[in-house]
C-alpha cells in the first residue's frame, strides 16, 4: 500500500497550541495578577509544561503507530531492554529537565512579556532549525566516523528499529551533547527570546520523537518541511529510520531536522517505501 501523508499544517495545529498555552497562562498571570516568576519558579513551571507536552507527543505517536503501522514491518520494533531501563529513564529525565533548565538559565528574563511571540515565528523556527541541524550534522557525523567518538554513540545504534521511547537511549556523553551543547550552540548563533525558545524546543523534541517512531507516514519535520519540500531537502520519519536500520560505524542521513547538509555533503540514503511515487498524496491522515 502507498504511504499516507501527515501534513505539516496538521502538525502545527497539534504542536503550536500546546506549546503556546503555558506562555499564555504565564502572560495572563503577569497582566492580571502582577505575578512575576523568578528563575526557580519559572524552571518548575516550564519543566512541568515541557513534561506534559512530551508525554502527550509520545502517547499520540504510539497511537499513530498502532493505527498506521511502521516502516519495514517485517521486523519487530525494538523494545526498551530490561537491563537498560534505568538508562532510558535517566535519558528521559535529562531530556525533560535539562532543556527547560538551559532555557531558564541562559534565555529567560524575569519581567519580560511571557507571551511575546513575533508574527515571524515560522521564519524564526525555520532558521533556528537549520542552524541547529548544521551543528547536529557535524557532531553526529563525527560520532560515526571519528574512531574514538564512536564509543559514545554506539549504544544508541543497538536499536535497528527504534520506537519513540528509545529516542533518549544513549550514553551520557551523547545525551549531554544532544540536550545541552547543540541547543546552546544554535541559540548562540541565532538568539531568540524565551517564549520563542520554548516553542522551538517543543517543536524540536516533537521532531526528534517522531524520527524514532518509525510510523509509516510521509511525516516531514514541521519546522522546515513545508519550505524544503520544494527543493527535495525535507527530512521525513523514514530518513532517520533508515539511518538506524542500515547505519553502524558508517551511515547516512545524519541530519535530524533537514536533509540540507546530507545533500550538500553526499550522505543521503534513498528512501525505501516513501519515495514520491509511493506516497499517497491524496490521503492525508490526522494526528491521533
User: Predicted confidence band at 249 (pLDDT cuts at 50, 70, 90)?
Assistant: confident
Q: What's the pLDDT band for 251 if we cut at 50, 70, 90?
A: confident
Cα distance between residue 151 and residue 227, in whole Å: 36
Beta bridge partners of 3: 279
Nearest CA to 156 out of 104, 87, 109, 95 is that of 87
Q: At 243, is the pLDDT very low, low, confident or very high (cuts 50, 70, 90)? A: very high
pLDDT, tens digit, 9 for 90 and up, residues 14-61: 999 999 999 999 999 999 999 999 999 999 999 999 999 999 999 999
Query: At 90, is the pLDDT very low, low, confident or very high (cuts 50, 70, 90)?
Result: confident
What percentage of the chain reaches a pLDDT higher than 70?
99
What pLDDT does residue 72 have? 94
Q: How do residues 218-239 score in pLDDT, each as one tens digit?
A: 999 999 999 999 999 999 999 9
Cβ neighbours around 171 below 10 Å, total: 15
Lowest mean per-residue pLDDT among 49-58, 74-83, 199-208: 74-83
pLDDT greater at residue 104 or residue 94: 104
User: Looking at residues 146-166, what average pLDDT do you find?
Assistant: 91
Name the percent of the chain lying above pLDDT 90: 84
Question: Which residues make Cβ contacts (< 8 Å) with residue 72, sequence separation at least 6?
Answer: 161, 214, 241, 245, 272, 273
- 88 and 169 in contact (C-beta within 8 Å)? yes
Q: Check residue 88 and give its pLDDT.
A: 74
pLDDT band at residue 173 using 50, 70 and 90 as cut-offs: confident
Whether the predicted pLDDT of 250 surpasses 90 = no
Q: Is the pLDDT at 195 greater than 80, yes or no?
A: yes
Confidence of residue 93 (pLDDT cuts 50, 70, 90): confident
Residue 185 CB neighbours (<10 A): 18
- Give residue 87's pLDDT: 72
Amino acid at each position: 500500500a502507498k504511504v499516507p501523508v501527515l501534513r505539516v499544517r496538521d502538525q502545527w495545529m497539534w504542536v503550536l497550541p500546546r506549546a503556546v498555552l503555558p506562555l499564555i497562562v504565564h502572560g495572563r498571570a503577569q497582566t492580571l495578577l502582577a505575578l512575576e516568576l523568578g528563575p526557580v519558579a519559572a524552571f518548575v513551571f516550564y519543566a512541568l509544561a515541557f513534561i506534559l507536552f512530551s508525554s502527550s507527543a509520545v502517547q499520540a505517536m504510539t497511537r499513530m503507530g498502532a493505527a498506521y503501522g511502521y516502516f519495514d514491518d517485517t521486523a519487530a520494533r525494538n523494545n526498551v531492554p530490561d537491563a537498560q531501563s534505568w538508562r532510558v529513564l535517566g535519558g528521559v529525565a535529562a531530556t525533560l529537565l535539562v532543556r527547560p533548565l538551559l532555557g531558564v538559565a541562559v534565555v529567560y528574563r524575569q519581567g519580560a512579556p511571557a507571551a511575546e511571540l513575533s508574527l515571524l515565528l515560522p521564519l524564526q523556527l525555520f532558521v533556528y532549525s537549520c542552524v541547529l541541524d548544521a551543528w547536529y550534522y557535524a557532531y553526529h557525523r563525527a560520532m560515526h566516523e571519528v574512531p574514538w567518538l564512536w564509543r559514545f554513540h554506539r549504544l544508541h545504534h543497538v536499536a535497528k528499529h527504534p520506537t519513540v521511547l528509545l529516542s533518549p537511549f544513549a550514553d551520557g556523553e551523547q545525551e549531554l551533547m544532544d540536550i545541552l551543547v547543540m541547543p546552546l550552540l544554535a541559540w548562540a548563533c541565532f538568539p531568540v527570546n524565551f517564549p520563542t525558545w520554548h516553542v522551538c524546543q517543543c517543536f524540536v523534541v516533537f521532531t526528534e520523537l517522531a524520527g524514532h517512531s518509525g510510523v509509516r507516514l510521509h511525516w516531514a519535520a514541521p519546522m522546515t518541511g513545508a519550505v524544503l519540500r520544494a527543493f527535495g531537502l525535507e527530512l521525513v520519519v523514514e530518513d532517520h529510520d533508515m539511518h538506524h536500520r542500515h547505519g553502524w560505524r558508517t551511515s547516512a542521513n545524519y541530519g535530524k531536522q533537514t536533509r540540507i547538509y546530507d545533500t550538500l555533503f553526499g550522505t543521503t540514503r534513498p528512501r525505501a517505501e516513501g519515495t514520491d511515487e509511493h506516497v499517497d498524496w491524496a490521503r492525508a491522515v490526522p494526528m491521533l
